[in-house]
Structure 1
């Protein structure tokens, strides 16, 4: 897989995806939107992978959507058929949404490590992740309002599950910076560290802890939590009951109980492709 905007590697049970355009502030150009989909397809196909760490390089996590790409997608002039032009634009937005949908749907937990600015599309990206760890100098900005766009690739749909409504609306309406300390106060980030190296180390420790659990159970927890966002409590309870009735048939529960009783670490097999 040839990548120009991302570095992808797997170390043991941990997949690492790193944005690698620091001189361009890791802006999300046309290649990025396709490459992230390809990388997460590889992750989902690799049964060794039990957790993913998303990271970046340079001073900032990302400055968001490449403005040249944004301008090109909006186009200009008077199209011969405005209806067809708008239908084409809708498909363009849906394709961009899919780039972060694949992160949200990934069968394993995804941890984002944020340093410096996480702006515009960066917020769409990290809200599609399961957990977020950031540095003291990190900040998040729903930038779209500042360039007269309604955020349309995931922030406004996912952030209501992460933050209170009043705060969400303030951030979306004003486009102000949401600094690390405030983000931690509201539980948007799981931890704040002194620097990027410490944030990466914290993500590594979390990923290794997750990777030691039953991958079948971790996949089930993520699936049930994600489905629960659009379900009533009663529907969610029925969903998890059916999930466990179907999935808890193998060796993992006996292995886990035996290890607990022996005060040992259980060892779980990878999922099957």
Structure 2
């Protein structure tokens, strides 16, 4: 990837087909400042478009995973006080949509996204992790939909995605009260896959899972992600129909499947081609 070390709010390392993105503002509890909102979707787009990795792990630094939206985002926003009210509100709507897209990229990425969460996962951070494929956390982690404490409604995906991950009643309780949901409750509710004692053991386990994913056919894995996300938002009948369309076009047994048979016969790991890069500059 180009400009891999030129980020202010993140660090990025790509190794063994795994991209590891770290939120890197520990002194500010990794709150999401203006740099984050510009850099984070760019990093995800670059990895996806360049097929730079087969799986993305997102972790953090310091005591807390992320304290949510940095207050500087609110104080630095410029509004034209002379603008007609309807147009001002239409502009605000487009701003919200742009911020939502910063997390939508996680679902649109062709490779799985794994979140490794320690300490607090607060406000906008819940929007972030809700858009991932899998979540893992430490025993000291907690999740809090803080927006009602600020007299606002969460607007970047938590209220839309979380009800597909845990029970509707629990989502409503968390959103209405803003209370903290501790790690074990998050595990029992199905929000996180596993809970680990400390961050080091969590990252070791998550990287092992990422290694397993990276060893599979990337075409098969992206097919799983596409189908599971589609099924979440559509009926069983529609999802089965889309599955038949996907399989008729993407399933090529003479390639990746045959490679698995050859590798097993020779007692070696299979070798798969990466997904093709996406070149948005080409029309055809």
Q: TM-score range by the shorter chain?
A: over 0.9
Matched, 1:22 2:60: no
Gaps of 5+ in 1: none
CA distance in 1, matches of 2:125, 2:79: 23
CA distance in 2, matches of 1:191, 1:58: 20
Instruction: Decide which moves more: 95-104 or 248-257.
Output: 248-257
Cα deviation 1:167-198 (Å, max 9, x = unaligned): 11101111000100101111111111010111
Matched, 1:221 2:224: yes
Of the candidates 140, 145, 159, which is equivalent to residue 143 of structure 2?
140
CA distance in 2, matches of 1:179, 1:109: 25
Of the candidates 188, 191, 195, which is equivalent to residue 192 of structure 1?
195
CA distance in 2, matches of 1:260, 1:165: 45
CA distance in 2, matches of 1:214, 1:80: 53
CA distance in 1, matches of 2:40, 2:256: 32
User: Helix, strand or coil: the match of 2:190?
Assistant: coil
Shift, 1:257, TM fit: 3.7
- Structure 2 match to 1:236: 239
Q: 1:224 to 1:180 in 2, by over 3 A?
A: same
CA distance in 1, matches of 2:177, 2:266: 55
Matched, 1:163 2:166: yes
Of the candidates 110, 117, 122, which is equivalent to residue 120 of structure 2?
117
Cα deviation 1:132-152 (Å, max 9, x = unaligned): 110000000001111011111
TM-score by length of 2: 0.91
Gaps of 5+ in 2: 278-284
CA distance in 1, matches of 2:170, 2:207: 30
- Structure 2 match to 1:246: 249
Matched, 1:182 2:185: yes
How large is the Cα RMSD of the aligned pairs?
1.7
User: Helix, strand or coil: the match of 2:63?
Assistant: coil
CA distance in 1, matches of 2:272, 2:114: 21
CA distance in 1, matches of 2:266, 2:239: 34
CA distance in 1, matches of 2:73, 2:26: 18
TM-score by length of 1: 0.95
Matched, 1:105 2:124: no
Shift, 1:69, TM fit: 1.4
Cα deviation 1:19-53 (Å, max 9, x = unaligned): 11000111101111110111011111232411111
Matches within 5 A, 1:49-128: 49-73=53-77, 79-128=82-131
CA distance in 2, matches of 1:148, 1:68: 18
CA distance in 2, matches of 1:156, 1:261: 49
Paired residues of 1:12 and 1:48 also in contact (CA < 8 A): no
User: Helix, strand or coil: the match of 1:189?
Assistant: coil
- Structure 2 match to 1:129: 132
- Structure 1 match to 2:204: 201
Cα deviation 1:220-266 (Å, max 9, x = unaligned): 11111112222110000011111011011250112224445666532
Matched, 1:32 2:36: yes
User: Helix, strand or coil: the match of 1:118?
Assistant: strand
Of the candidates 5, 19, 37, which is equivalent to residue 9 of structure 2?
5
